[in-house]
């Protein structure tokens, strides 16, 4: 059977680096197993889901290098869920409940004071036909719960019932169905909660592996029971640890913190995001990988830790610098052209400046310095000015070879007696306007004799 995975966010916000971890775990798993990747939007909550968010999520995935084989929307598949509901009703494992949220809340409190677990007590199963008729005549609409298979003959007497699975990440896992409330699958207004559509889709779409955050471990117990109620074989499950900031704070789509969009806008490279998102909280070292294929070689779900994957967002900047400093021109080329950096000098320029950049777009500032001269005239003492005039008069004639910088500064040293910082700093200021930057030996040939002389103070 073809390995088939899915990434299933609800399109209710922009995805963040923690969501990217889930998407990438699935993508890399598919890559390593020659599998298929389904992009599935869990958009049954139509009040909070939007097409704009779905589009932005696809955009972010493409930016990361993830190209789904197919994209599905749950909101377009409601008939399939309705058919599953009919099957569950026929099997008598879906039952109507009429409690209001306030009534449920009160019951939970009562159970707690009695030392009972705050799970739903299945009171709806004890309603008489008259009570049901009364609710209906009052205009109350039912919500529907799935009867968990945690009893022998009387659902009002639940017993410890273990669901087991061998988790791709966590190994042997167990959930006791008696510790859980029967989940609501359908709301009063006829809309679906996440639980059932997800299982129906996983069956219908032939999903073989469900890889998601460990906040879903308990859901998996319930969902395996649902797979069985629908007479399907459950897929393999894998629950990875969640990313948190160094202070242990979780990430939320709602706050927009560390969204893929904001990282992109801050000039962070996709592979810096992907390398960190995948490798942090695993037994692998966090290091930049040049592409997803190489990252896939370092990806093993079983090497993921069970505790939260803490990271410092500043690590992204460190990884980003490493990527930029080693980025070949062929990779930067198209993006540089968009920024106006093109022509014969673009490649040597890139190789000269990349080691000084935090972000690729910062190359533009150096391109401008080379093309137009220092943005502001450098502040020079009278003494340095005299030194520079003498130095510029010693500039070798063209054609230049690869040693022009060495030849020139050698002559300057000889003529003026200056050396070290006293020699190089005024030259750097005159040529670039900046006290630090790329190697002048690399910049000088790009300026050429004419461009260099234009900077003579």
In the complex, the residues that contact ligand GLU under the rule CB under 6 A are 8-10, 42, 194, 198, 212, 216
Distance (Å, rounded) from C-alpha 438 to C-alpha 432?
Answer: 10
Whether residue 166 contacts residue 234, with contact meaning beta carbons closer than 8 Å, is answered with: no
CB nearer ligand GLU, residue 225 or residue 446 = 225
Whether residue 65 contacts residue 270, with contact meaning beta carbons closer than 8 Å, is answered with: yes
CB nearer ligand GLU, residue 37 or residue 366 = 37
Closest approach, Cβ 455 to ligand GLU, in A, equals 57
Distance (Å, rounded) from C-alpha 54 to C-alpha 75?
Answer: 12
Closest approach, Cβ 323 to ligand GLU, in A, equals 29
The alpha helices in 4-150, defined as continuous H runs, are 17-32, 51-64, 78-90, 101-113, 129-137
CB nearer ligand GLU, residue 135 or residue 237 = 237
Closest approach, Cβ 197 to ligand GLU, in A, equals 9
Of 192, 265, 195, nearest to 230 by C-alpha is 195
At residue 338, φ and ψ (nearest 5 deg) are -60, -30
Closest approach, Cβ 220 to ligand GLU, in A, equals 9
CB nearer ligand GLU, residue 47 or residue 401 = 47
CB nearer ligand GLU, residue 9 or residue 121 = 9
Spatial neighbors of 429 by CB under 8 A, at least 6 apart, are: 374, 378, 379, 380, 384, 435
Distance (Å, rounded) from C-alpha 177 to C-alpha 183?
Answer: 11
CB nearer ligand GLU, residue 77 or residue 212 = 212
Closest approach, Cβ 182 to ligand GLU, in A, equals 19
Radius of gyration of the chain (CA): 32
Return the H-helix or E-strand segment holding 369: helix 363-372
Closest approach, Cβ 210 to ligand GLU, in A, equals 6
Closest approach, Cβ 40 to ligand GLU, in A, equals 8
CB nearer ligand GLU, residue 36 or residue 212 = 212
Distance (Å, rounded) from C-alpha 359 to C-alpha 414?
Answer: 39
């Amino acid at each position: 059977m073809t390995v088939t995975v899915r990434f299933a966010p609800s399109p209710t916000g922009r995805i963040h680096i923690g969501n990217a971890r889930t998407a990438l775990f699935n993508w890399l798993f598919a890559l390593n197993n020659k599998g298929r990747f389904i992009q599935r939007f869990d958009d049954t909550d139509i009040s909070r889901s939007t097409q704009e968010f779905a589009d932005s999520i696809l955009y972010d995935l493409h930016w990361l290098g993830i190209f789904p084989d197919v994209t599905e929307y749950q909101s377009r598949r409601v008939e399939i869920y309705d058919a599953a509901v009919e099957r569950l009703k026929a099997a008598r494992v879906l039952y109507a409940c009429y409690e209001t949220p306030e009534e449920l809340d009160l019951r939970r409190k009562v159970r707690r004071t009695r030392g009972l677990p705050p799970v739903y007590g299945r009171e709806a199963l004890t309603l008489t036909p008259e009570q049901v008729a009364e609710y209906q005549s009052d205009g109350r609409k039912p919500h529907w719960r799935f009867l968990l298979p945690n009893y022998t003959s009387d659902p009002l007497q639940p017993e410890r019932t273990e669901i087991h699975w061998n988790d791709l990440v966590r190994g042997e896992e167990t959930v006791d169905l008696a510790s859980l409330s029967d989940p609501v699958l359908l709301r009063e207004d006829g809309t679906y909660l996440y639980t059932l559509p997800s299982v129906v889709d996983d069956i219908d779409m032939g999903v073989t592996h469900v890889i998601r955050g460990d906040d879903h471990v308990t859901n998996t117990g319930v969902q395996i029971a649902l797979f069985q109620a629908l007479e399907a074989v459950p897929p393999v499950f894998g629950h990875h640890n969640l990313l948190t900031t160094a202070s242990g704070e979780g990430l939320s789509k709602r706050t927009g913190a560390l969204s893929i969009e904001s990282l992109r806008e801050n000039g962070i490279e996709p592979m810096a995001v992907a390398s960190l998102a995948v490798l942090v909280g695993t037994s692998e070292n966090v290091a930049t990988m040049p592409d997803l294929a190489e990252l896939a070689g370092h990806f093993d779900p079983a090497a993921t830790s069970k505790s939260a994957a803490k990271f410092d967002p500043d690590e992204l900047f460190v990884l980003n610098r490493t990527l930029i400093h080693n980025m070949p021109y062929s990779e930067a080329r198209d993006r540089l052209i968009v920024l106006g950096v093109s022509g014969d000098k673009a490649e040597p320029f890139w190789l000269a400046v990349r080691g000084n950049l935090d972000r690729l777009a910062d190359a533009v500032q150096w391109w401008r310095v080379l093309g137009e001269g220092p943005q502001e005239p450098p502040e020079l003492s009278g003494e340095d000015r005299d030194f520079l005039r003498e130095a510029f008069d010693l500039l070798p004639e063209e054609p230049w070879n690869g040693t022009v910088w060495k030849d020139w500064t050698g002559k300057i040293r000889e003529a003026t007696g200056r050396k070290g910082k006293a020699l190089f700093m005024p030259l750097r200021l005159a040529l670039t306007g900046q006290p630090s930057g790329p190697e002048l030996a690399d910049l000088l040939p790009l300026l050429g004799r004419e461009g260099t002389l234009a900077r003579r103070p």
